[in-house]
Amino acid sequence: MIEPLDLVFGALADPTRRGVVEALLAEGSTSVPALSRQLPISRQAIAKHLSILDGAGLVERAPGDGGREVRYRLREGALRPAADWLAEADRAWDRRLRALKRSVESRPGR
Amino acid sequence: MAVDERELVRREVEIEAAPEQVWDALVDEERREAWLEPDPERELRIETAAAPEWLVWWWWHGDEPPHRVEVVLLPVPCGTRVIVTESAPAVFPLARMAGAFALALAPA
């Protein structure tokens, strides 16, 4: 079974898709033509990457502004589960290392 | 030091004891389980054990992708610095970046 978290991390495993996400972070929204000016790949490839990011719940189509091109934006909070997982892992290791320190330092005869 | 893109977590602690004494608490299974917080569902396999400085294991739950845990022991004047990194080569190549993004993005 594929967890949503795995989908998010899997989608970000590709450097081109990270580039797309970075562009969205910097600019708020983007489009296939705009990305094709920034990235050295075809419009077709860009559309495919956007569809993978969409499938992972990371991007969505921005509401139409009457423009000619479809624009995409990051879905709010889409990266939060990943951030939460990491924060919990940090806390867990801090707890474990404190326990290791106590275990070693409380040992008699060291 | 270059950061491995697959690295999820990196934590450190200093312990007032020689590396050999810390090492015993890492490789003795009963002691290790105690400070790792016992978890009967967790599988753990040691990959490399180079006493008293370098230990690598893989751990996972059920069908989840395994994570690699690397523990490095460095002698320091007050005892030992313990550096732990946890990484997930198979699935989470850029989780750290995802985390940074999420913090930049998400409403608190």
CA separation for the pair A44, A3 (Å, rounded): 28
Residues on chain A touching B57 (C-beta within 8 angstroms): none
For testing the chain B interface, which of A9, A17, A76, A90 should be mutated: the one with the most B CBs within 10 Å? Answer: A9
CATH architecture of A4-76: Orthogonal Bundle (1.10)
Residues on chain B touching A8 (C-beta within 8 angstroms): 98
Nearest CA in chain A to B37: A96
Which residue did the predictor score with more confidence, B55 or B102? B55
Task: Say how many CA atoms lie within 13 Å of B103 toward its Cβ.
Answer: 10
pLDDT of A101 above 60: yes
Q: Is B98 on the interface with A (CB under 8 A)?
A: yes
Please state the domain extents for chain B: 7-105
pLDDT band, residue A22 (cuts 50/70/90): confident
Q: Which span out of A3-12, A46-55, A66-75 was modeled with the highest average pLDDT? A: A46-55
Mean per-residue pLDDT of chain A: 84
Which residue did the predictor score with more confidence, A7 or B81? B81
pLDDT of A72 above 60: yes
Q: Is A77 left (phi over 0), alpha (psi -120 to 50) or beta?
A: left
Q: Is B39 on the interface with A (CB under 8 A)?
A: no
The two structure tokens encoding residue A48: 């495919």
Q: Is B78 on the interface with A (CB under 8 A)?
A: no
For testing the chain B interface, which of A6, A88, A93 should be mutated: the one with the most B CBs within 10 Å? Answer: A93
Q: Is B49 exposed, middle or buried (0-12, 13-18, 19+ CB in 10 A)?
A: middle
> Which residues of chain A from 7 to 26 reach within 8 Å of chain B, CB to CB?
8-10, 12-13, 18, 21, 25
CA separation for the pair A55, B63 (Å, rounded): 22
Residues on chain A touching B96 (C-beta within 8 angstroms): 86
Tell which residue, B107, B106, B94, B89, has the closest CA to residue A17: B94
The two structure tokens encoding residue A19: 């580039």
Nearest CA in chain B to A73: B105
Q: Is B90 on the interface with A (CB under 8 A)?
A: no
When pLDDT is averaged across residues B1-10 and rounded to a whole number, the result is 58
Give residue B1's pLDDT: 34
When pLDDT is averaged across residues A32-36 and rounded to a whole number, the result is 90
Give residue B90's pLDDT: 46
Q: What fold characterizes domain B7-105? A: Alpha-D-Glucose-1,6-Bisphosphate; Chain A, domain 4 (3.30.530)
Give residue A108's pLDDT: 80
Give pLDDT tens digits for B70-98.
Answer: 999 999 999 999 999 998 654 444 444 55
Which of A25, A83, A96 has the CB atom closest to B37's CB atom? A96
Please state the domain extents for chain A: 4-76, 79-110
- Report the range of poorest mean pLDDT among A16-20, B21-25, B50-54, B60-64: B60-64
